[in-house]
Structure 1
Amino acid sequence: MADPVVLRIIFGDGSDARKLNLVSGIPETVAELHHFVKTCYQLHEDFRMQYMDPDFKDFINLTSRSEIQNKSTLKVIYMTLTPPVDSYITLYPVEPSDAAIISSNDQTFSPSSVASSSSADTLYTSTPHSSPEILLSGLSSWPKVFVVPKFTYKAEFELQQKNNEFETNGTNFNPGPKLKGIILDGLAQEMMKYTKYPKDYQCEEVAAALTRTHPCLGQLGSKTGFWGWKQSLKYKMQNYRTKLGRLGHPEIRVNSLKHKLEGQGKAAANIKKPRKAEVYYIPLHPKGETAESLEKERIALLSELKKRDNEVVITAKMEKTFSHRCLEVVEQRPMIGDFKNRWPALFEPSEVNAEFMRITTKPLQTKFLSQLDHFSDKLMEIFTCKGGVKGQKIKRILAMKDLCDDINVRRECILRSLVVYLNEDPDVFFKEYLPTAVEDAERDITTTVMGIYSIRRDGHEEPEDVGVVVEGIKVLNNLASVTTAFIMLFGLIYALDLAFPDNLKYTFEFLQKIIMNLDGHKLNLKIQQLKIKLFS
């Protein structure tokens, strides 16, 4: 294993200088070092690095890792005029019809992605989500850079002493059981703010953050320098879940072996966990509320739907009953028809957007369209280079956008081409009918598990009707475009805790992990190859 290295990083004009501890030594390439600096300091602007050259006594562009060594000085040069700051406001394109409030924690949009959105969109500043359930649960999406919490005063004092010794003579510190327990407890409690079921890469990020913050805790016998801490965190989180389960935590309880349907034997057949980067999978009930009181709220909600211009009250009641609805979806797995009868308010575009925001803390329609527009030129460049039968099919699909200058048609062509590129069949999912074939459409809909239908006259760009079908039922209709229907279906998959359709699983994985940036650390090989081309 490489020896630990300490670097001095200068930002801007030199008034801001920080120390960077590399427990595992200097990365193998400049690109890896660039990524590490960007992640460690959460830099949002593009930048290049320079090193202090001993011959010229000045900073020169860094092109090789051989130019740097222990205690070298590097300088971050921003590629734009405006350097990033720790506190800033993120702007999102929001359509006037969107009822969802955009969370300030969502920092996925880049300035270019915002600029690429439709000119008809309006920009609003991001505002923290004010839902009482969200504030009660205290959860948020997994941070881009995990910040190690402060431990007890005694533990912090001892760690500071050992860090000083490490900087002086490079001596690593192996904490005793009591101090190690304090460290693991503090990390586990911080992780619980984001997820009850951390994935492998998340435990690894936390362990790496710990050894960066306290370099004396680096482990010499480990290839990464923190493998032991990573394993200990997994066991600690498992112990925390056991304790929460005994206290009756709903998300832990529904995953326990004791809590399963009768007749399923001893296997954990009804285990349900977040699978698509849900932040609020089974949230706690609001303070002072029970399942019985929230059921009364649901019944009252049905009456409110009959009133005109009552969107504010409906949204408030949907917020209040969010935990009740999530528990019903996960535990009871209701049929879509029955669930729609119980929660008709959910099956409106504005509420689909709001529900997706409640579940993931990220905006749905605005982010989807912005990111899709941002990548559209590059995607079309990739698609047009495809050869063979799939290439010919893609060319026929993309030819549709040349017949008119409509942003919705362009987006639809890109989505259909994406399906073909990933070796999936769009004709199975996208059903198009003439107005004279409505009876055929209705018959096909009853046998469709999941899909999108559109009714359009020959030679007409605008469809007369576009809708979403789930389990043979029209859950949404009279939508503006096929793209809007696709977005609504994506949101309903989260709201109803459905699996992605098997015949389009790669397409939906790309949209989830690349377009929506939800849990994109582990990718299927097809998606990984497309991502490499997309970002090359």
Structure 2
Amino acid sequence: MAESQKLLLRVYIAPDIAHKMTLSTRPSTVEELITVIKEKFRPRLDFDFNLQYEDPDFGGQLCFLTDISELPEKAVLKVHRSETDAGSASTSDTEILPYAPERLQSWPDVFPVPQFSYDVEHSLNGGNMAYQNSGKFLKLTKGQKHDILENMAKAMHSFKAYPSDKEVAKAAEALISKHPCLTEPGSQCGWYGWKTSLKFKMGNFRTKLSRSGCEEVAVNSGKRSKNNPESESPHSNIKRARRAEVNYLPNFPKGESAESLEQQRLQIVEEVSKTERSLGLIERLMQSTFALRRKQIVVDNPSQAVKEFLEKWPALRLESQIAAEFHRITNISLKNKFYAELDNHTPRLIAVYRQKAARTGKAAEALRSICSAYDLTDHYDINNRRTVALRALPVYFREDDSVFFKMWNVGFYTSQLNFNVNYLIMLMKFSNAFQTEELDEPDIADSAVALVSMVNGESSSIVQFDPAGIAIVLEGDIVLRDISRLADAFLLMFGLIYALHLNYPKELTHTFNFIQKVLLGLDDSKPLTPRLLSLKNELLIKE
């Protein structure tokens, strides 16, 4: 959105106190908007706070504002006092929600070098001028270097507790770019020594955080050392974000314990079981118990069966909460990002599929079959385009998708007996009377991850543009059903994999990494495989 865009805001500075606010230009960052609101309503807002806005994509439900471009031109904002604010425990007119994300952003493309102490900044300014005029390097004192490394470590941790070697290198490079007087004359790149120092400083910083009770790093303490010679290696089984999760293992909200959060969990179970659920209450309780869920699934019992976990957390069977949980973990709007990027790449994807379909081989033959089926549909229907783009993806990557895509012919019962698909599934689950050949029920008992398309009648096509419904299967259990479109099923499946901390299906590693890294932009710092890189290059070619 353009920065010159006018903003019309209704700002709730307290639960029952709202003010109208008009901005002639859109602030460039969320932090800038917070500063403007602070100045406007001082002294009422003389404390640290975050902002929530009513997201039109989720029916006006509250979401934390992490990207200024997500804010509509006409919006309702609510002030949320930060948990780190010293006065957050005191009585206030401001609504205090139980949980706020610890991190708001993944690792940036350009690392933002923080502000150092006054004396260090003064020395750096003088050093940069001297370097520009005469090429002279600045020699730091031990205290000055410590201040730089300490502040850099804090800035790095604000994005990631365990940055990769590549990410630390980016931070070191950014430091030298902003302060060229710190360039190392003996290093080929000019920052290699800084990179090494930052890696050691991050290790020391994590140790201090672990001792202070930071769950994200404390979970990896107690490894082999002089005092624990029999423990496992300190470099094995490290629990850390591996798929660009921003909030991987947060601490419990301030003032909450495992016992108090367990009571809220029971309240969620009760609310979900009601005929008329309060989705707003479920959202607030799921938000406040997020840290408990992550601890249970990452630390306490990572091998727990999906069915058992979903019995404890039934709200994760709701589509709205799958998207919300994904947002809590990654700070990315799953639906918006997924569909925006998929629709952007679909025309080029279909063109690439057709090019490969013109060749010889099994993959080309399967792609020809998919493209032929697509040619018989309405090309102006966006759902048809999305379906062919996703269904042909594993075929293009030459992956075995037979264990992932399954077909279920329910035509005999849905047409002749007028059974609803959901009712049919229930009968199949609880009665042996329907184990018939006509039903041709797929074998899902051993399916770790699968999408089951229910069709009315026999079908020889490997792609279904108008199924009776699609079900998501995890560990042999139908988790979600009656999904109308393949794109929706893929989206929800991906959200569940993040929410339940599951591995990608081995047979479709390329497909799911494509969704993660290309469609959703979740960079895990690992290089793209040759197949993924080749397809990404094809998509970025301008014709």
| Deviation (angstroms), 1:399 | 2.2
Q: Note if contact 2:405-2:451 (Cα within 8 Å) is conserved in structure 1.
A: yes
Counterpart pick for 1:357 among 303, 316, 327: 327
Letter in 1 for 2:454: I
Letter in 1 for 2:291: S
The residue number in structure 1 matching 2:360 is 388
Letter in 2 for 1:388: T
Q: Deviations over 1:303-333 (max 9, x none)?
A: 1223314100011100010000010010111
Q: Note if contact 1:101-1:129 (Cα within 8 Å) is conserved in structure 2.
A: no
Q: Note if contact 1:400-1:413 (Cα within 8 Å) is conserved in structure 2.
A: no
The residue number in structure 2 matching 1:321 is 289
| Deviation (angstroms), 1:231 | 1.4
423-432 or 268-277: bigger deviation: 268-277
| Deviation (angstroms), 1:138 | 4.6
Q: Note if contact 1:301-1:314 (Cα within 8 Å) is conserved in structure 2.
A: yes
2: CA distance, partners of 1:344 / 1:495: 12
The residue number in structure 2 matching 1:105 is 67
Q: Note if contact 1:336-1:470 (Cα within 8 Å) is conserved in structure 2.
A: yes
Q: Note if contact 2:268-2:285 (Cα within 8 Å) is conserved in structure 1.
A: yes
Counterpart pick for 1:511 among 504, 511, 515: 515
Residues 449, 238 of structure 1: alpha-carbon distance in 2 compared, 3 angstrom cutoff: same
Corresponding position: 1:266 with 2:270: no
Q: Deviations over 1:262-283 (max 9, x none)?
A: xx97356643211100001111
Q: Deviations over 1:231-256 (max 9, x none)?
A: 11111111111111222221112223
Q: Note if contact 1:104-1:126 (Cα within 8 Å) is conserved in structure 2.
A: no
Letter in 2 for 1:339: F
| Deviation (angstroms), 1:343 | 0.3
2: CA distance, partners of 1:248 / 1:442: 51
2: CA distance, partners of 1:129 / 1:305: 28
2: CA distance, partners of 1:135 / 1:92: 16
Residues 484, 123 of structure 1: alpha-carbon distance in 2 compared, 3 angstrom cutoff: farther
Q: Note if contact 2:387-2:465 (Cα within 8 Å) is conserved in structure 1.
A: no
Q: Note if contact 1:102-1:362 (Cα within 8 Å) is conserved in structure 2.
A: no
Corresponding position: 1:428 with 2:411: no
The residue number in structure 2 matching 1:175 is 140
Residues 502, 531 of structure 1: alpha-carbon distance in 2 compared, 3 angstrom cutoff: same
| Deviation (angstroms), 1:464 | 1.8
Residues 441, 198 of structure 1: alpha-carbon distance in 2 compared, 3 angstrom cutoff: farther
| Deviation (angstroms), 1:145 | 2.4
The residue number in structure 1 matching 2:245 is 278
2: CA distance, partners of 1:224 / 1:126: 48
The residue number in structure 1 matching 2:220 is 255
- Gap regions ≥5 residues in structure 2: 4-25, 34-52, 81-95, 225-229, 413-427, 429-434
The residue number in structure 1 matching 2:385 is 410
- Gap regions ≥5 residues in structure 1: 1-42, 45-83, 110-121
SS of 2:392's partner is helix
Q: Note if contact 1:510-1:527 (Cα within 8 Å) is conserved in structure 2.
A: yes
Counterpart pick for 2:279 among 304, 311, 315: 311
Counterpart pick for 2:532 among 527, 532, 536: 527
1: CA distance, partners of 2:505 / 2:333: 22
| Deviation (angstroms), 1:159 | 0.9
2: CA distance, partners of 1:321 / 1:87: 29
Counterpart pick for 2:102 among 137, 140, 154: 137
The residue number in structure 1 matching 2:200 is 235
2: CA distance, partners of 1:266 / 1:376: 47
Residues 267, 258 of structure 1: alpha-carbon distance in 2 compared, 3 angstrom cutoff: closer
TM-score for the superposition, normalised by structure 2: 0.74
Q: Note if contact 1:103-1:362 (Cα within 8 Å) is conserved in structure 2.
A: no
| Deviation (angstroms), 1:154 | 0.7
The residue number in structure 1 matching 2:416 is none
SS of 1:499's partner is coil
247-256 or 287-296: bigger deviation: 247-256
2: CA distance, partners of 1:177 / 1:294: 46
| Deviation (angstroms), 1:488 | 0.7
Residues 441, 253 of structure 1: alpha-carbon distance in 2 compared, 3 angstrom cutoff: farther
1: CA distance, partners of 2:107 / 2:223: 29
Q: Note if contact 2:350-2:388 (Cα within 8 Å) is conserved in structure 1.
A: no
2: CA distance, partners of 1:532 / 1:136: 35
Letter in 2 for 1:452: L
2: CA distance, partners of 1:448 / 1:129: 45
Q: What is the aligned residue count?
A: 438
| Deviation (angstroms), 1:160 | 1.0
Corresponding position: 1:186 with 2:151: yes
Q: Note if contact 2:408-2:441 (Cα within 8 Å) is conserved in structure 1.
A: no
2: CA distance, partners of 1:346 / 1:98: 20
SS of 1:283's partner is coil
Corresponding position: 1:465 with 2:469: yes
Q: Note if contact 1:98-1:350 (Cα within 8 Å) is conserved in structure 2.
A: no
The residue number in structure 2 matching 1:375 is 345
Counterpart pick for 2:374 among 383, 401, 407: 401
| Deviation (angstroms), 1:97 | 5.8
Letter in 2 for 1:199: S
Corresponding position: 1:210 with 2:175: yes
2: CA distance, partners of 1:371 / 1:310: 32
Residues 311, 443 of structure 1: alpha-carbon distance in 2 compared, 3 angstrom cutoff: same
Q: Note if contact 2:54-2:60 (Cα within 8 Å) is conserved in structure 1.
A: no
1: CA distance, partners of 2:29 / 2:287: 29
1: CA distance, partners of 2:503 / 2:441: 24
1: CA distance, partners of 2:79 / 2:484: 27
321-330 or 173-182: bigger deviation: 173-182
Q: Note if contact 2:28-2:68 (Cα within 8 Å) is conserved in structure 1.
A: no
2: CA distance, partners of 1:135 / 1:448: 36
Residues 106, 354 of structure 1: alpha-carbon distance in 2 compared, 3 angstrom cutoff: farther
Q: Note if contact 2:403-2:447 (Cα within 8 Å) is conserved in structure 1.
A: no
SS of 2:389's partner is helix
